[in-house]
């Protein structure tokens, strides 16, 4: 985060790897719901 104030390319690359183009995929949708329950348990 400290580096990103000068050069945000590192943070952009990190976010690009985490995002998907498959926004209409039922499998991706359900996986997101599953992960949300996982975080609530901790």
Give residue-wise pLDDT tens across range 1-42: 566 667 888 888 888 888 888 878 899 888 888 888 876 665
Per-residue pLDDT, 10: 84
Domain count within the chain: 1
Per-residue pLDDT, 1: 57
Look-up: residue for tokens 């400290």? Answer: 2
Per-residue pLDDT, 29: 87
Per-residue pLDDT, 2: 62
Could you list the residue range(s) of the whole structural domain that residue 33 is in? 3-41
Per-residue pLDDT, 4: 60
Per-residue pLDDT, 3: 63
Residues 6+ apart with CB under 8 A from 22: 28
DSSP H stretches of helix in 1-42: 9-18, 26-41
């Amino acid at each position: 985060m400290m580096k990103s104030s000068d050069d945000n390319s590192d943070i952009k690359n990190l976010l690009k790897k985490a995002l998907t183009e498959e926004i209409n995929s039922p499998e991706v949708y359900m996986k997101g719901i599953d992960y949300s329950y996982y975080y609530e348990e901790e």
